Structure 1
Amino acid sequence: MRGAAMSLSAAASGFVVFLLSVSVVQGQDDWGVTYTSTEICALKGSTVDISCTYRYPSRINDHITQVKEKFWFTRVSNNDYVDIRSDPEYSGRVQYIFGNNDCTLRITDLRESDSAEYKLRFITNQHNGKYTGSPGVTLSVTGMVTDLQVQVSRLLVYKSYNRAELKCHSSCRLPDHLHYVWYKNRQKMWRGTSSYSVSVYPADSYSCAVEGYEKFPSPPVYAPRVPSVSVSPSGEIVEGSSVTLTCSSDANPAANYTWYKENEVSPKASGQIFTITDFRPEHSGNYYCEAQNRRGRHNSTLHLIVVAGKFLHSATHILYQKS
């Protein structure tokens, strides 16, 4: 199975954008169309190439098969497949690039209204020798880069800071030559590629944007803030009852939680909620919750004691912070 090669070149009105995926063959017997990509995401104003290869029987009933016509379409009107070259919406913006059984549709100056399913249709000299590659290629054109995310691909932990490799990622594949803007604590700090290696501290946040689309930055990523911890039921706790400890922290990416008891190496529980059933005097002591993500970690503690057969808990406080 041979997929058509996609070109990536600068266009006067924008960029060429493409998304490669596993080639999918639409067809049966000796007829078919192989689309190099079945889903493409592109930016408004850019240029996109939609490519495929097609096949057909070389002979039918001793008659040599010849392709008489081939075109791309998105809609059918009165049972007539509308060649997009004749559609006023695409006037001056489409180009067909055909080779030996391969076919590329190039659309320039993309508009959001160009979002549609594109299919190739070819007609031969054979009786009933018409074929449409269906389903086709779904093109999504966006005027905003709104789904950017900062991903932490590598993290080296030191005593007072971390060294991280950050990646500005979008589900809409963008050209490699685009520039990105990086922000630290919402202040512009660097212009460059989609990857950025930086020393990060617990109090810092980082976000990114595509240059020219700075109004649509990614959500900031940051280490967990100081967790808040609470105990239920509040007030005095009767011996033998259940005690539920809860921990929460603002973090992006979301934090993972681990509970420890002071002077014990092994964790007591994982998750935001830690329940101790049949609470006894030996359970009293300092419990602390650690909130951690790939940016760092923070801890808070809760002090539980037993007094005259009843348990009291002190207000939460920070035991220590580290990253």
Structure 2
Amino acid sequence: MALRTAGSVLVVFLWSVTVVLGQNGWSVTYTPQSICTLKGSTVELTCSYTYPSGTVTTTFWFTEWGTGVEPEDLGQDPEYTGHLEYHGDKKKDCTLRITDLRERDSATYKFSFITDQTRGRYYGDPGVTLSVTALQVVTYSSWPNSVKITCSTTCTLTDNPTYIWYKNGQHLDESTSPQYRDPVSSNYEDSYSCAVKGHEDLHSPAVCVQYQSCYRVTYTKRRICVLKGSTVNISCTYVGHYSTTSSFWFRSVKSTPKDLTRDPGYAGRVEYTGTYRGPFTLRITDLREEDSAEYRFTFKTYNFEWGHSFPGTTLSVTGNTTLYDTTVNHNELQEKIY
């Protein structure tokens, strides 16, 4: 099975109900049968298989199988190029990893294998049903003059996640319930966003609880991978209800946000361009591997400062001129969008 390797640090390991279907020594075991996980994350479809005799010659995963038509190996499907990693073997392990999940990856995945014996082909029904969802804050009017908020998904996330809440870019609370524990003030300046613990960079868009003029920051890209020595543009848009008195980018590892234009480590290599009405951009030139970090944006008005805990854009800088990530062409000095 020819699958390309892709880099990602966000992995969902799932152990649940085992499903086995087989006869006469043939079987495929899926653990679990169904998974609901986040758009942009990585999932492992844990799988094992058995057969009575012979040597396995071919292994592959597929999603569709029409009558009289052989199923298509996902490893040969251009739609999955750079997104699949086969972690199995030709003995008993058939685990598949799918990276940088997209909502269109929602499907039922099945494993098949062929041996060198007569009639030595097996299709592993029923497969694993994968549902991919994004997070969204949904508001409900509450009495008096308050609003209830829920971190909404199109399916129930597997593994009982912990939800994280942000108010105006600042960490607010954590809970195992997708609904925030208290009604929130319907202040038209306030925005709320949610994330799942362990996947903070996959947070929902910030949502106003009243009207559409609240404080909020929206990052253009979640993660970027570029080559050492090149130039990168990291951008966002932001809304300040009142006139902005200052705005700058900083590295999230700093205990106190420090304007990158005043950081000696970036001297002569950092430039800000744009306004909140269009992308406000951080440009870093002559990139170094030590520039790899999460970059966040903050702004101030005369009575407000955007919170520092809201996840930003993660930059990875590599000196490898071959392949750092399978979806990055090292001949193209440009950003890779995850």
Q: TM-score, normalised by structure 1?
A: 0.46
**Which is richer in strand?**
1
Greater C-alpha Rg: 1
Report the TM-score, using the length of structure 2 for normalisation: 0.44
Higher relative contact order (CA 8 A, sep 6+): 2
